[in-house]
Chain A
Amino acid sequence: MKDRTSPTDRELAELAAQGRRALQDVDDAALERIWANVRAEVDTPSGAAVPAPRRSREPPARQRRSRPASRVPSWMASAVAAAIVLVVGVGLGLALGGDDGPDRPVAIASVALAPLPGADAEPVVAMLREGSGTRTVEVDLSGLPEPDGFHEVWLLAPDVSALVSLGPARPDGVYVIPDGIDLVDLPVVDVSVEPDDGDPTHSGQSVLRGEVTLTG
């Protein structure tokens, strides 16, 4: 029931400015506590954890950044320099506790891959991991319907102006990200259906896509 008329442009501008300030007025520490409580209420008895939201400033994130610089891979150093916050493995309910040696692959982020409109696919979650200086995208594509050709995994720029192939679908679901690829530039994970024609270029038929959300 709208008993107020639609706001004018000017009123919208005032609301936007005021609202922006009001949104910043929120207490991050309070939100962390609230989220912990939500999770406690929502998690199943079997222990399937709801991932912590990216906003959370979990202690392991700070520990990670305080490691000697030589242990921070160069791509992450540049990411941190760009003030990018990634979901840390602990926050995802994975790699809990202090077991993380620098060589054990750690979950860096999760990427929700959504089906493109009209694509016959269910959403899946891809994981970004890093270990021993190697970064991987891990995604289980076995649930996709049998394609006419094969599935291929890509990293795309948000405006699709650049892309790199991570290769055709693999049974182990592990796709190595080549050195030198900056996830700031190519944050979109894409799964396409490729015809068996020997043409290495993207077919244009994407079935799943999702983006590592980077906050600047």
Chain B
Amino acid sequence: MTVAGGLLIDDPSPVEPDDVVVPLRAATPSSARSRRSLDAASEPVAPRGPGGLTDERTIAAALVAGQRWALAAAFERWADLVHGVARQLVGRDDADDVTQQVYVEAWRSRATFDPERGELPGWLVGITRNLARAHHRRRGPDPTSLVVDEQRDADPDPTIRPERVVDALVVAAAMRDLADAQRAVVELTLLAGMSQSQAAAELAMPLGTVKSHHRRALARLREALGRSRP
């Protein structure tokens, strides 16, 4: 199935604005230059597959299939998320051990991951929570509650409570995993405090497209957050 000689990305899911169908031409070496309209507007971003999700789906499928490189890829992508969450749930001293256990467990239970029901980072956070609970059960309540209470009494600031920081890590990691265009939009609308109109001007993107990216991106962030909460 092709469209006017274009390369149709044969994906049954709804077409995102960034799934562009472009005319093909065989490029000679001297003309092999890609144009990335986002480059001018933002700092250089890592090139991604169409839709941006390709990477997570690729890693997920390969992990379930038992391809060992996928565990390395999952570590490269999300070990900082796992470690950050572990640090909030079991403390700095034990975060390294728990992170290690999470990835070993992820490999051993890889066949239980269902790509239809969620994404890898959320699954890894779930494993982290389980292992943190097991860690606390082993250690007994007293040392950990001491840590938690001290933290609460010393810093009444609710923004640094463990569950809040876990939420923040999950949202930031999910933002990092967004498709290029969606990420570029919310970096401006969420992080830089721009209005959608300002973002549209900054990115030289139609306002309607910006609104669509913003809406979808926030939906994905909320979904990631919802799935990772206990």
Please give the residue numbers on chain A whose beta carbons come within 8 Å of chain B beta carbons, in ascending order.
1-2, 4, 6-7, 9, 12-20, 22-23, 25-26, 30-31, 33-35, 37-38, 41-42, 48-55, 82, 110, 112, 114, 116-119, 122-123, 125, 157-165, 178-182, 184-188, 200-206, 209-211, 213-216
Contacts and interface: CB of A to CB of B under 8 A. Distances in A.
B95 to A, nearest CB: 8
A162 B168 contact: no
Nearest to B43: A216
Interface in B11-55: 11-13, 20, 22, 24-36, 43-50, 54-55
By secondary structure, the A interface counts as: loop
A215 B78 CA distance: 14
Nearest to B103: A38
Interface of B: 1-2, 5-13, 20, 22, 24-36, 43-50, 54-55, 57-59, 61-62, 65, 67-73, 75-76, 79-81, 83-84, 96, 99-100, 103-104, 107, 159, 164-165, 167-173, 175-176, 186, 190-191, 193, 218, 221-222, 225-226, 229-230
B75 A18 contact: no
Contact of B69 (A110, A122, A163, A179): A110
14 contacts: A6-B225, A23-B176, A34-B83, A42-B68, A125-B67, A159-B20, A159-B36, A163-B32, A180-B30, A201-B5, A201-B24, A204-B24, A211-B55, A214-B47
Interface centre among B27, B81, B193 (most CB of A within 10 A): B27
A149 to B, nearest CB: 14
Determine the main DSSP class of B at the interface with A.
helix
A35 B79 contact: yes
A165 B221 contact: no
Given A13-B190, A186-B34, A202-B24, A34 B99 contact: yes
A164 B29 contact: yes
A51 B72 contact: yes
A34 B100 contact: yes
B22 A159 contact: yes
A37 B168 contact: no
Contact of A204 (B7, B47, B172, B221): B7
Given A18-B159, A161-B35, A204-B6, 14 more contacts: A2-B226, A23-B169, A31-B75, A41-B100, A50-B71, A55-B75, A118-B12, A158-B49, A159-B22, A159-B34, A162-B27, A163-B25, A181-B32, A216-B44
Contacts of A37: 100
Contacts of A51: 68-69, 72
A211 B175 CA distance: 20
Contacts of B191: 13, 16-17, 20
Contacts of A158: 34, 36, 47-50
A204 B79 contact: no
